[in-house]
C-alpha cells in the first residue's frame, strides 16, 4: 500500500512545497510499481469568503492532479461556512450557479474527477421557503455532474457540556433518498455526508448495491471528532469491507465555529492508511487497491453470513 503523508500549509500560498520535497514525492511515485489509481483526500479551513475558499480548493486539486490523483475528495462545506443562518442562506446557490460552473470547468481542464462533499444548494422551492440542501456532488473528468446526493441525516444536536449546539434542520431540507454508487476511475463510490456516518444502515445499503469505496466528507465539531471520528470511520470500513475516504474541515472557520480535521483514508480491514492531522489544510494521497477488497471479503465472507431481513426483524414479532 502506497501512501503519501499529509501535505500541509496554513494558507493557499503555503501549499506550494519546497523543491526538494516535491522531488521526493515524484521519486516515490516513480518507485511505486503498482498501477492502482490514486485518490486525494483533502482538508481545508473554509470561511464565509467564497473566493478565498475556491482559491484554496483549486490549488489542492491542482496539487493532487500533479501528483497523479485520478479523483480528488473535498470536504463538506468546501464552498463556505457561514457565521450565521442568514449568511449561510444568502451565500447559497443553485447547481447552475457560478460555483458549480467553476468546478465543472476545473475538472474538465485538469481531466480529473471531483467529489464535492457538501454544497449549499438552494432548494427547489427557494423563492417561497428559503431553505437549502446539503449536497454531495460528483463531477467527472469531462466536467459533467454525474451524481447529486442530498444529505439525509441532519445534525440537530445539543451537547451543552461540550459546547456543541447545532440545528441543521432549521435551514436544511433532508434528502429524499440514497444514490446508487458511482463508477469512477478508482472504483465504485458510495456517497454520504458527515452525520450520515453514524448510521450503519446507509453504508450497508451502499455496499449491497456494489460500493467499493465509501466517502464521508465532513465538518465534524472538535468535541465529537475527538470522541468518535476515527472509530466510526473504521467501523464503517470493517462492517462493509470497503475503503473509506473522509475529507474534512479543520481549524477555526470564524469566531463561532471550529472543526476537528484529521481527514482519513481507511482500508477494508479497518486500518488507517493516512491521517491529515488536526491543525492545517492539506491532503493525503492513497492508492486504492480493489483486489484488497476482494481478498478481504473472500477471506472473511461477512456478507454471505448475513441472515435475511426477516431474521433481523424477528424481535419485533415476539
- Residue 34 has what pLDDT? 55
Kindly report, residue by residue over 134-155, the tens digit of the pLDDT. 999 999 999 999 999 999 999 8
**How many Cβ atoms from other residues are within 10 Å of residue 175's Cβ?**
20
Considering the domain boundaries, does residue 64 fall inside one? Answer: yes
pLDDT at 222 over 70: yes
Considering the domain boundaries, does residue 313 fall inside one? Answer: no
Instruction: Report, as an integer, the average pLDDT of 172-196.
Output: 97
pLDDT at 163 over 80: no
DSSP helix/strand/coil, 316? helix
Q: How far is CA 60 from the centre of its chain?
A: 14
Are 137 and 100 in contact, with CB atoms under 8 Å apart? yes
Of residues 224 and 30, more confidently modeled: 224
Nearest CA to 220 among 190, 250, 255? 250
Considering the domain boundaries, does residue 141 fall inside one? Answer: yes
Kindly report, residue by residue over 46-77, the tens digit of the pLDDT. 999 999 999 999 999 999 999 999 999 999 99
- Residue 160 has what pLDDT? 83
Considering the domain boundaries, does residue 74 fall inside one? Answer: yes
Percent of the chain with pLDDT over 70: 89
pLDDT band at 256 (very low <50, low <70, confident <90, very high): confident
- Residue 36 has what pLDDT? 93
Catalytic residues: 76, 151, 194
Q: What angle do CA 228, 230, 232 make, to 5 degrees?
A: 60
- Residue 12 has what pLDDT? 39
Considering the domain boundaries, does residue 170 fall inside one? Answer: yes
- Residue 7 has what pLDDT? 58
Q: Which domain holds residue 251?
A: 3-291
165: domain CATH number is: 3.60.110.10
Q: How many domains does the chain have?
A: 1
In terms of DSSP H, where are the helices of the chain?
A: 19-31, 50-66, 85-90, 98-110, 126-129, 200-208, 222-224, 230-240, 290-299, 302-305, 309-313
Considering the domain boundaries, does residue 298 fall inside one? Answer: no
Instruction: Report, as an integer, the average pLDDT of 14-19.
Output: 40
pLDDT at 27 over 60: no
Judge if pTM exceeds 0.85. Answer: yes
Considering the domain boundaries, does residue 177 fall inside one? Answer: yes
Kindly report, residue by residue over 80-131, the tens digit of the pLDDT. 999 999 999 999 999 999 999 999 999 999 999 999 999 999 999 998 999 9
Percent of the chain with pLDDT over 90: 79
pLDDT band at 318 (very low <50, low <70, confident <90, very high): low
Give dist(CA 54, CA 12) in Å, integer: 10
Give dist(CA 267, CA 262) in Å, integer: 16
Kindly report, residue by residue over 175-184, the tens digit of the pLDDT. 999 999 999 9
Considering the domain boundaries, does residue 303 fall inside one? Answer: no
- Residue 138 has what pLDDT? 98
pLDDT band at 24 (very low <50, low <70, confident <90, very high): very low
Amino acid at each position: 500500500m502506497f501512501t503519501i503523508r499529509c501535505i500541509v500549509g496554513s494558507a493557499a500560498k503555503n501549499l506550494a512545497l519546497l523543491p526538494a520535497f516535491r522531488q521526493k514525492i515524484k521519486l516515490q511515485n516513480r518507485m511505486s510499481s503498482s498501477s492502482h489509481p490514486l485518490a486525494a483526500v483533502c482538508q481545508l479551513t473554509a470561511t464565509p469568503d467564497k473566493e478565498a475558499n475556491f482559491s484554496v480548493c483549486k490549488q489542492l486539486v491542482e496539487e493532487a492532479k500533479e501528483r497523479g490523483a485520478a479523483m480528488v475528495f473535498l470536504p463538506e462545506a468546501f464552498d463556505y461556512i457561514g457565521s450565521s443562518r442568514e449568511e449561510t442562506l444568502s451565500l447559497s446557490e443553485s447547481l447552475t450557479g457560478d460555483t458549480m460552473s467553476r468546478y465543472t470547468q476545473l475538472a474538465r481542464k485538469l481531466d480529473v474527477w471531483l467529489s464535492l462533499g457538501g454544497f449549499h444548494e438552494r432548494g427547489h422551492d427557494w423563492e417561497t421557503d428559503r431553505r437549502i440542501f446539503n449536497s454531495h456532488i460528483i463531477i467527472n473528468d469531462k466536467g459533467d455532474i454525474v451524481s447529486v446526493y442530498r444529505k439525509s441525516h441532519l445534525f440537530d444536536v445539543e451537547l451543552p457540556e461540550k459546547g456543541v449546539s447545532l440545528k441543521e434542520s432549521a435551514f436544511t431540507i433532508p434528502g429524499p433518498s440514497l444514490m446508487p454508487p458511482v463508477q469512477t476511475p478508482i472504483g465504485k463510490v458510495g456517497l454520504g455526508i458527515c452525520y450520515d456516518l453514524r448510521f450503519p444502515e446507509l453504508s450497508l445499503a451502499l455496499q449491497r448495491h456494489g460500493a467499493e469505496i465509501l466517502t464521508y466528507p465532513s465538518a465534524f465539531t472538535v468535541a465529537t471528532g475527538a470522541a468518535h471520528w476515527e472509530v466510526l470511520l473504521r467501523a464503517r470500513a470493517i462492517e462493509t469491507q470497503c475503503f473509506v475516504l473522509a475529507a474534512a474541515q479543520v481549524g477555526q472557520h470564524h469566531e463561532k465555529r471550529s472543526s476537528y480535521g484529521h481527514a482519513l483514508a481507511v482500508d477494508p480491514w479497518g486500518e488507517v492508511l493516512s491521517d491529515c492531522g488536526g491543525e492545517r489544510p492539506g491532503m493525503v494521497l492513497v492508492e486504492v487497491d480493489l483486489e484488497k477488497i476482494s481478498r478481504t471479503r473472500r477471506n472473511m465472507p461477512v456478507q454471505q453470513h448475513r441472515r435475511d431481513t426477516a431474521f433481523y426483524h424477528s424481535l419485533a414479532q415476539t
